Amino acid sequence: MDTILSVKNLKKTFDGITAVDGCTLDVEKGTITGLIGPNGAGKTTLFNIITGFYKPDSGEIVFKNKKIDQLPTYKITHQGLVRTFQITKALNRMKVIENLMLSPKKQTGESLIWPIFNPKKVGKEEEEIRDKAMELLEFFDLMELKDEYAGALSGGQKKLLELARALMTDPDMILLDEVFAGVNPTLSNKLLDYIKELRDDGVTFFLIEHDIPLVMEACQEVYVMSEGKVIAKGEPEEIKNDQKVLDAYLGVVHEG
């Protein structure tokens, strides 16, 4: 199998506190790979670094054989790597359909000039984008909500919207930061089915998740982080029985 994302020896310190401390991992193409670990392990920080929200102090990130660790976020997205946020960020005062139509990259109409001087071309492109957005709304059962303001959606609907919005960028890989948190079990299963279906279509997923049974069911491979480092990797069954993991993580969960 091919590696799509490769993180080597990544480090990031804030005010003397090391959040990510020499993290190394690979994500295989076409998989759903999990990232678990106790709170404060540095998982979200790692996502923030991979997607360019923070610059790493040292280390290397390679995505599709291209170094991306010095690129700004928007260029990383253009490479085909997109993320969602731990706390859902709906664009509240924009309609659901607008949320989706925002995503596609390199839209002619995104320049200051063409909407005025070539409205025809922009209009035609808009129709194509709208059609694509409608397909996704269909796929995620959000069609009735298309003209609602995103701010009016329920928490679970916002999660779906965020995933759909990420898909509109035509990504090769999506980083999901606790996308199942706070979602009811029915929707959660539905979401997982969507993700598996998308995986079968060739999208790679790398997801942070606290719900261990869910991770065990969804992922082919799981990384475990603790104190900024990867302490274990393997198939769900191996991870379950790894003593280091039990010490660092599962122990905490059982106590809690």
Partner 1 sequence: MAIGISYIISLLILFGIYAIFALGLNLEWGFTGILNFGHVAFFGIGAYSTVILNQMGVPIYIAIVAGIIIAGLFGVLVALPAMRLRGDYFAIVTIGFSEIVRYFMLNEEWLTGGPLGLRDFDIPLSFVPSQYYNIAMLILVLALLALTYLILKALINSPWGRVLKSIREDEDVSKALGKNVFRYKIQSIALGSAIAGLAGILLAFNHKYLNPNYYMPLITFYAWIIVILGGSGNNKGTILGALIFWTFMSLTRFSPGYLPISSTDLGALRMVIIGLLLIVLMMYKPEGLLGNKEELKLDI
Q: Which stretch binds partner 1 (CB under 8 A): 12-20, 110-118, 185-193, 199-207?
A: 110-118
Is residue 101 part of the contact set for partner 1 (CB under 8 A)? yes
Is there a contact between 66 and 79 (Cβ–Cβ < 8 Å)? yes
Cβ count within 10 A of residue 234 = 15
Minimum distance between the CB of residue 178 and partner 1, rounded to whole angstroms?
A: 15
Contact pattern from residue 179 through residue 208 relative to partner 1, giving x for each residue in contact according to CB under 8 A and a dash for the rest: ------------------------------
- Which amino acid makes up residue 169? T
- CB nearer to partner 1: pick between 42 and 171: 171
Q: Which stretch binds partner 1 (CB under 8 A): 1-9, 67-75, 219-227, 247-255?
A: 67-75
Helix (H, G, I), strand (E, B) or coil at 53: coil
3 state SS for 116-184: HHCHHHHHHHHHHHHHHHHHHHHHCCCHHHCCCEHHHCCHHHHHHHHHHHHHCCCCCEEEEECCCCCCC
Contact pattern from residue 134 through residue 173 relative to partner 1, giving x for each residue in contact according to CB under 8 A and a dash for the rest: ---------------x-xx------------xx-xx----
What is the total count of residues that contact partner 1 (CB under 8 A)? 42
Is there a contact between 33 and 219 (Cβ–Cβ < 8 Å)? yes
Contacts of 45 by beta carbon, 8 Å cutoff, 6+ apart: 12, 19, 20, 54
- CB nearer to partner 1: pick between 130 and 240: 130
Task: Report how far residue 183's alpha carbon sits from residue 213's, in angstroms, rounded to the nearest whole number.
Answer: 15
Is residue 92 part of the contact set for partner 1 (CB under 8 A)? yes
Per the DSSP assignment, residues forming a β-bridge with 82 are 174
- CB nearer to partner 1: pick between 122 and 216: 122
* Of 1, 2, 65, 112, the one binding partner 1 by CB under 8 A: 112
Q: Which stretch binds partner 1 (CB under 8 A): 95-103, 132-140, 222-230, 240-248?
A: 95-103
**Contact residues for partner 1, defined by CB under 8 A:** 51-53, 72-75, 77-78, 82-85, 89, 91-94, 98, 101-103, 105, 107-112, 115-116, 119, 122, 125-126, 149, 151-152, 165-166, 168-169
